[in-house]
């Protein structure tokens, strides 16, 4: 089965083709980072318009790379939600229309299920069951995964997601957009331990997260440094390092707690923040001490991409699931509502 995957949930236009026998055949991605950078964050209307401009050229590019035509495909998968409504509509309308024109089934994919399954694209893929940490600009969740569609939410952020907190910290530090890579880069120059930031909610039972207080602590630290006249590039880097250390430590503690609670040894981490090298190193170090193992997608598949949508859609289409003729999106869509495969 050959499935075309379309990702248009936010600020990246991703297209890919996944084949049951060959695996990932071709993929292409267009990032809108430059478009939104001057605003310090994603502007939904601009994102939607850019998806309209880029989606069809990217589809043609991917079909050419795969040496295929639309008639060679067996299905179309598109991101149905969660995400920005306007952006989702671009992919959903295009995907549903092309599937109808080619006479093949279409499937709407849950964006976070795509991230969760992205490590399955690797040669060394994890086996069920496992704990998944889904950590991105819009989500921070710990999920027990017993199979495709068999998800139990263990904990989530009660306010800002980790990726959102990185973006806001970067804005406070005037580091630019997107925040995660900019904070990580600045932290490389920072002196770890020069500042000590709190690890939110780690002393409470449970697996929920909260990063709003850490954001406020960062703002207060920056404000105090400026008022004292000590704020300079080194101080900026020190604050970035302290912020990153706090987020990473919190995520590691909660992941370890989830594995112990569920009596599992395998952890999957996916989403944009999973590309953070410090987080990867700390999780690998922590799990090695307990005989566990952590799996990631390759760096280019940590952020939004078409490959993860093509794969997730392929799994559901192969199981006989498909959309009706109407076009529906779910800007808010709990992953626990998904049907099992």
Binding positions for substrate are: 134-138, 167, 180, 276
The torsion angle over the Cα atoms of residues 179, 334, 318 and 298, rounded to 10 degrees, is 20
Count of C-beta atoms within a 10 Å radius of residue 274: 27
Query: Which tokens is 39 given?
Result: 């605003």
Q: Fill in the DSSP letter of residue 249.
A: H
Q: Which of 200, 88, 195 is nearest to 140 (CA)?
A: 200
Q: Which of 165, 172, 173, 274 is nearest to 213 (CA)?
A: 165
Residues 248, 285: contact at Cβ < 8 Å? no
Binding residues for Fe cation, as ranges, are 111, 115, 304
Binding residues, as ranges, are 111, 115, 134-138, 167, 180, 276, 304
Quick check: helix, strand or coil at residue 330? Answer: coil
Q: Which of 8, 60, 92 is nearest to 326 (CA)?
A: 92
Bridge partners of 77, per DSSP, are: 5, 107
Count of C-beta atoms within a 10 Å radius of residue 289: 8
E strands present in the chain? 2-7, 12-19, 23-31, 75-81, 106-110, 130-135, 140-147, 150-156, 266-270, 293-295
């Amino acid at each position: 089965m050959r499935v075309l995957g379309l990702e248009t949930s936010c600020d990246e236009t991703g297209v890919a083709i996944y084949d049951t026998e060959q695996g990932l055949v071709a993929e292409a991605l267009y990032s809108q980072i430059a478009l939104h950078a001057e605003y310090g964050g994603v502007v939904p209307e601009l994102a939607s318009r850019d998806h309209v401009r880029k989606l069809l050229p990217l589809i043609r590019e991917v079909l050419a790379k795969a040496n295929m035509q639309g008639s060679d495909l067996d299905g179309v998968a598109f991101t149905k939600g969660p995400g920005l409504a306007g952006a989702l509509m671009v992919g959903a309308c295009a995907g549903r229309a092309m599937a109808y024109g080619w006479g093949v089934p279409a499937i709407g994919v849950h964006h976070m299920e795509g991230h969760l399954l992205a490590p399955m694209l690797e040669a060394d893929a994890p086996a069920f069951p496992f704990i998944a940490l889904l950590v991105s600009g819009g989500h921070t969740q710990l999920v027990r995964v017993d199979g495709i569609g068999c998800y139990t939410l263990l904990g989530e952020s009660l306010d800002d997601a980790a990726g959102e907190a990185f973006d806001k910290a970067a804005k406070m530090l005037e580091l630019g957009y997107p925040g995660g890579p900019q904070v990580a880069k600045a932290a490389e120059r920072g002196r770890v331990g020069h500042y000590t930031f709190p690890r939110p909610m780690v002393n409470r039972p449970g697996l929920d997260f909260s990063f709003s207080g850490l954001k406020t602590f960062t703002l207060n630290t920056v404000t105090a440094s400026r008022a004292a006249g000590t704020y300079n590039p080194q101080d900026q880097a020190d604050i970035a390092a302290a912020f990153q250390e706090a987020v990473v430590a919190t995520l590691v503690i909660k992941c370890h707690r989830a594995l112990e609670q569920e009596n599992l040894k395998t952890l999957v981490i996916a989403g944009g923040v999973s590309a953070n090298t410090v987080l990867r190193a700390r999780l690998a170090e922590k799990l090695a001490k307990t005989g566990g193992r952590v799996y990631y997608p390759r760096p280019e598949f940590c952020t939004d991409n078409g490959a993860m949508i093509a794969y997730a859609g392929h799994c559901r289409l192969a199981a006989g699931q498909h959309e009706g003729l109407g076009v529906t999106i779910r800007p808010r869509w709990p992953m626990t509502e998904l049907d099992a495969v």
